[in-house]
Amino acid sequence: MRGIVWLILLFVVAVVAATTLGSNDGIVSIYWSGWRTDLSLNFFVLLVVGFCLLLVLAVQAFMAITTLPQRASEWRGLRKERAAQAALREALAEYHGARYGRAQKAAARALDIQADTPALQADTEFTVLAQLLGAASAHALQDRPRRDALLAHAMPGPQRKASRADDGVRLLAAEWALEDRDGPRAQALLAELPAGVARRTQALRLKLQAARLLRDGAGALHTARLLANHNAFSEAAALSLLRSLAFDALDATHDPQQLQRTWDLLDAADRRDPYVAARAAARAGQLGAAALGRSWLRPFWDRLQDVDRDAREQLALALIASVDGIAAEQADWLPRLDSAAAAGSHGPAVAAAVAIAFAECRLWGMARRPLEATASAATLPGPLRRRAWRRLAELAREEGDAERERACERAAAAID
């Protein structure tokens, strides 16, 4: 196809030349020192064109000769640059091929070639990438001194120009710090990230790991909530993680005031979770703030039928853990307890909670049968059954039945 196009162009040139020059009868006369030379106009035009072409070729040849040293230098620089790029690609390939020693050598060779190539010396990004590959290989080989030395050179600072790889350097350094169990350093590195980078999923994952390593329950929970909003986890995994972190934050409290602050810091969705509320109420009971725990349980006991069986069991156990002093709130809790007892389908744990709450309120007539059912329920935890037997022993003592009291105490002591 290309040959056909050239042939057509040749015919076009021939036609144009024949049309233009074929009927040209002009003569060019040249006088020089008494000599006269006559040339046809066509021949003169061809001579001028040929002379111009020769002049152009001469100028190009002269320029090529004079610029030869510069072009040779550029060619040598290009060869070195290609060699450096090839060494960097080799280091990357060897690193991903798990040949970390070879990757280290290739990255070092790339840096050596760069140092010997003036055109590459100003390429900060090339330097940082080669140093990162070397540091990553050293990390994989557990060579921490070499890793830290290369990482220190790759870290952004006033001594070098900024690079697009700077954010990656900080993220990788934070990840390695977490692997070294150095939470404060990881947190410091993540704090240096620009606001936009700090909101990326990987940065949030690292921040979550750092918070958990430092046992910062509130910080970990906040970060996990951000990750869940970024759809970083599946719905089930996000729920499980957030619940676990809420548990950790609540269990880390040491007094009722700290527990209240932690509860207030929880997201509204966490406070609506019956498992979280049950854990908070149980912790309040352990810290001697049973009334505070019951205030968190009250909304859930208003709608026990709306939660699943496992959640009802946790809410029941939480009420048992925070039952101390419920007699003072008897008017408030009796309708809820009566409703739960009347339902009869909420499970043995709810029945046990109702029985122990009735006993705490000294309503022995209402507590007797639920306590007996709780004491004999093999599916309930041993401590809960033991507590029911002791409440029955207390009831027998109130009634003056010493023999039954001793029998209940023996039954309580027999439970492991």
DSSP 245-288: HHHHHHHT--SHHHHHHHHHHS-HHHHT-HHHHHHHHHHHHHTT
C-alpha dihedral, 118 to 122 to 130 to 82, nearest 10° = -50
- Dihedral angle sign, alpha carbons of residues 38, 42, 46, 52: positive
pLDDT of residue 252: 84
Q: Are 211 and 220 in contact (CB under 8 A)?
A: yes
Q: What letter does residue 327 receive in the DSSP assignment? A: G
Q: Are 39 and 28 in contact (CB under 8 A)?
A: yes
- Dihedral angle sign, alpha carbons of residues 343, 344, 346, 351: positive
Residue with tokens 């499980």: 240
Element at 391 (helix H, strand E): helix 382-399
Length reported for the chain: 416
Q: Are 390 and 408 in contact (CB under 8 A)?
A: yes
| Geometric angle at alpha carbon 104, from 101 and 110, rounded to 5° | 145
Specify the amino acid at residue 95. Y
* Both tokens assigned to 52: 């111009």
Cα 185 vs. chain centroid, distance in angstroms?
A: 17
pLDDT of residue 106: 92
- Per-residue pLDDT in tens (0 to 9) along the chain, 416 residues: 788 888 888 888 777 777 766 666 777 788 888 788 877 777 787 888 889 999 999 999 888 888 788 877 778 878 888 888 899 899 999 989 999 999 999 999 998 888 888 777 778 888 888 888 999 999 988 888 898 888 888 887 666 666 777 888 888 888 888 888 888 888 888 888 888 888 888 888 888 888 888 887 778 878 888 888 777 777 788 878 888 888 888 888 888 899 998 888 888 888 888 899 999 998 998 888 888 888 898 888 888 888 888 888 888 888 888 888 888 887 788 888 888 777 655 677 787 888 888 777 877 777 777 777 777 676 777 777 777 777 778 777 777 777 777 887 777 777 76
Specify the amino acid at residue 141. L
C-alpha dihedral, 167 to 173 to 177 to 183, nearest 10° = -30
Closest CA to 248 of 273, 274, 283, 272: 283
Between CA 173 and CA 149 the distance in angstroms is 12
pLDDT of residue 194: 83
- Which residues 6+ apart lie within 8 Å of 312 measured at CB? 304, 346, 347, 349, 350
pLDDT tens figures, 177-225 = 888 888 888 888 888 888 888 888 888 888 888 888 888 777 887 888 8
